[in-house]
Amino acid sequence: MAEENVKVAVRVRPFNAREKARSAQLIISMAGNQTIIKDPANMSAEPKNFAFDYSYWSHDGYTEKDGYFAPNDNRYADQKKVFDELGKGVLDNAWKGYNCSLFAYGQTGSGKSYSIVGFGNNKGIVPLACEELFKSIEEKRKVADKDAEFQVTLSMLEIYNEQIRDLLTSKTAVKGGLKVRQHASKGFIVEALTIVPMNSYAQIESKINEGTRNRTVASTNMNATSSRAHTIVALTFVQKQKNEAGQNMTKTAVINLVDLAGSERAETSGATGDRLKEGSSINLSLSTLGNCINALANQSSGKKKIIVPYRDSVLTKLLQNALGGNSKTIMIAALSPADINYQETLSTLRFADRAKMIKTQAVVNENPTD
């Protein structure tokens, strides 16, 4: 069992049209592993510095070629760079039989979905990882025993107002949402969730598109297409092969890819009425995520055993392994470059700073085939 820290990446996006229209000021800079943020109310004050495992400058230095944001200098981090550094590592670990989790945190409009799923030709980590996984399975099949098996399944759900909705079914949503149950070895699992076997990248792509269409999209003042829900795409990768002693072994890796709802407080997005109520429920999952991360960070800094309140929200139940258990975990903190988002961006950086203190204990999930 290898104990290791959660890896944290930060990524800063370009100005959006609204920010350009009001001549937003750039308050983020990056140098090496440092991310530096200036307080726009006090530009001459000492800026605040944070260090992360990966720092992605995606603010400028790109040109759009066939709709793809391609780098025109070596500073700009495009989707390929982020996938090569984060996504490929996830796949390598999945091949070894480790559970992997990757989640994106940040306020609405900061670039979470861009990194995780992507838009148009700018495919994010989820589609690129699926594409790569099937490519390497095909390669592996050519050299592996003919009775070796490689199986991939997909599930996709969203958590909205503390209720779980299956995104891969056309059936009307179960009233009150799907139930979560604690499983002896797997941790918390979602009952009656659709789990679909996948045989090709094309299949997975069309299923994920179907799931994305089923997502609850509610517009807020922040971003007309923003989702107020947490989305979890889970891939299970199973390998059945003989080991050197000729014994039939099964390796299983669960890959959780999580696009969290916007981390902003409801009041800053101008939400009212139902939207506001949603905001507070979303904040229950997100504030519990924050509480869990604080407890875990305190635990790793040597303070005595603290109870981690995983059970306080649906999100943290489902992310329990990702946060403090059997998983190799990466967090991407998505940052707005603009002065107007200073407070939210600073709180995202602080959140990310605590997340990097968390330790998980991933084990190779390998057992004799039954």
Q: Which residues contact 41 (CB under 8 A, 6 or more apart)?
A: 342
State the Cα–Cα distance between residues 83 and 126, nearest whole angstrom.
Answer: 9
Q: How far is CA 85 from CA 5, 8, 129, in A?
A: 17, 12, 12
* Least distance in angstroms from the C-beta of 191 to Mg ion: 27
State the Cα–Cα distance between residues 316 and 98, nearest whole angstrom.
Answer: 20
Token duo for residue 220:
């807020």
User: Can you give the C-alpha Rg of the chain in angstroms?
Assistant: 21
Token duo for residue 157:
């759900």
* Least distance in angstroms from the C-beta of 119 to ligand ADP: 5
Q: Please give the residues from 306 up to 365 whose contact with ligand ADP meets the rule CB under 6 A.
A: 334
Q: Which of 15, 50, 52, 69 binds ligand ADP (CB under 6 A)?
A: 69
Token duo for residue 173:
């949503």
Q: Which residues contact 23 (CB under 8 A, 6 or more apart)?
A: none
* Least distance in angstroms from the C-beta of 187 to ligand ADP: 27
Q: In the complex with Mg ion, which residue's Cβ is closer, 119 or 135?
A: 119
Give which of ligand ADP, Mg ion, none residue 97 binds (C-beta under 5 to 8 Å, depending on kind).
none
Determine the longest span between alpha carbons in the chain, in angstroms. 68
Residues 118-157, mask of contacts with ligand ADP (x by CB under 6 A):
-x--------------------------------------
Where b means 16+ CB within 10 Å and e means fewer, 292-303 reads: bbbbbbbbeeee
**Of the listed pieces 12-20, 23-31, 158-166, 289-297, which binds ligand ADP according to CB under 6 A?**
12-20
**Of the listed pieces 95-103, 111-119, 159-167, 187-195, which binds ligand ADP according to CB under 6 A?**
111-119
Q: Please give the residues from 220 up to 259 whose contact with ligand ADP meets the rule CB under 6 A.
A: 223, 226
Q: How many CB atoms lie within 10 A of CB 96?
A: 16
Q: In the complex with ligand ADP, which residue's Cβ is closer, 121 or 272?
A: 121
Asked if 283 is part of the footprint of ligand ADP (rule: CB under 6 A), the reply reads: no
Asked if 316 is part of the footprint of Mg ion (rule: CB under 5 A), the reply reads: no
Asked if 114 is part of the footprint of ligand ADP (rule: CB under 6 A), the reply reads: yes
Asked if 113 is part of the footprint of Mg ion (rule: CB under 5 A), the reply reads: yes
122 burial via Cβ count (<10 Å: 0-12, 13-18, 19+):
middle
**Of the listed pieces 109-117, 210-218, 247-255, 348-356, which binds Mg ion according to CB under 5 A?**
109-117
Q: In the complex with ligand ADP, which residue's Cβ is closer, 253 or 349?
A: 349
Checking DSSP bridges between strand 187-190 and strand 180-183, what pairing results, if any? Answer: antiparallel
What does the binding site for Mg ion look like in residue numbers (CB under 5 A)? Answer: 112-113
What does the binding site for ligand ADP look like in residue numbers (CB under 6 A)? Answer: 13-14, 16, 58, 69, 106, 108-114, 119, 223, 226, 262, 334
